[in-house]
Amino acid sequence: MSTVFYRRKPLVVTSAKQSDLTDGWVVIEGDVMSVYTNEEFERLFDKVELQADMVPGGPDTDIFGFDYSWCKDEFGRRLINELLGIEMASIDNNIDGNSWMFKPYPLSTFGRLVGAIEQDMEEGFDANVKFLEVGCGIGAKLVLVSKLFGFQVTGFDYNLQYCNDACELLHHWECQNWVVENADALSVTALEYYQASDVIYLNRPFVHLEQQGELEHLVLERMRPGAYVILANYAAEPSVLAQSGWREIARDKLAIVLQKP
């Protein structure tokens, strides 16, 4: 299984895959290919993290960049890297006219936002947090949320192939308590999920901003008070939502996390 790394500034690792020949990793850094032992590969992660910290303006939370600062354990980092590779490899540029092309919001950055929610809900933390991904694609983020945060995850997508891939991925990682459905974001099934979820992740399923805006409006209206939403590539106007009491938990270049009043 190969894992692909994307970084913009500075370019450190462009690709890495577990070596078939030795117990280690083959890593491509710029134009140079090297073989690392597992320990060296771990140190490489530290290097990536360090360089990210040195980027002017603080930790590199660039859309294709890494920000591992929220995830300290080795299993988590390895999981992120594997899933990033799978997600990137699955990018589908065939826009069918209705859906935004498969443009995943990077897992490393996404995980940080889920961490911010977990921290925010710490007081009344309930072990059965219900997480919903609208247009879950191949399910990489469902795996991340299930394995690293222990939430009950549900995802739906109108693309049946993506749903099948997501099921396979969740099985592969032996996730517990998950549901993947083949459903449309505007269907009755979806509306019921919006009402029942504690955390909803919505990353721009629609090409047209107006259509996207309508979906967001529907989701925000249906959500229960106190529930959280992660909006990425969104149409909503955060300042307008703030005026009606929505609480901002976190924000980055592409996404915002809000809690419903």
Q: Return residues touching ligand SAM (CB under 6 A).
A: 99-100, 102-105, 133, 135-137, 141, 157-159, 162, 184-185, 203-205
Length of the chain in residues, anyone? 261
Q: Which residues of 89-103 are buried (b: 16+ CB within 10 A; e: fewer)?
A: ebeeeeeeeebeebe
Ramachandran angles phi, psi of 3, nearest 5°: -125, 130
Residue 41 and residue 27 in contact, taking contact as beta carbons nearer than 8 Å: yes
Shortest Å distance, C-beta 191 to ligand SAM: 12
Shortest Å distance, C-beta 207 to ligand SAM: 9
Q: Which residues contact 179 (CB under 8 A, 6 or more apart)?
A: 153, 154, 155
> What tokens were used for 168?
């396979």
Nearer to ligand SAM, 27 or 142 (CB): 142
Shortest Å distance, C-beta 68 to ligand SAM: 18
End-to-end CA distance of the chain: 44
Nearer to ligand SAM, 65 or 205 (CB): 205
Nearer to ligand SAM, 118 or 157 (CB): 157
Nearer to ligand SAM, 6 or 36 (CB): 6
Shortest Å distance, C-beta 148 to ligand SAM: 16
Shortest Å distance, C-beta 40 to ligand SAM: 31
Nearer to ligand SAM, 69 or 90 (CB): 90
3-state secondary structure (DSSP) of residue 24:
strand
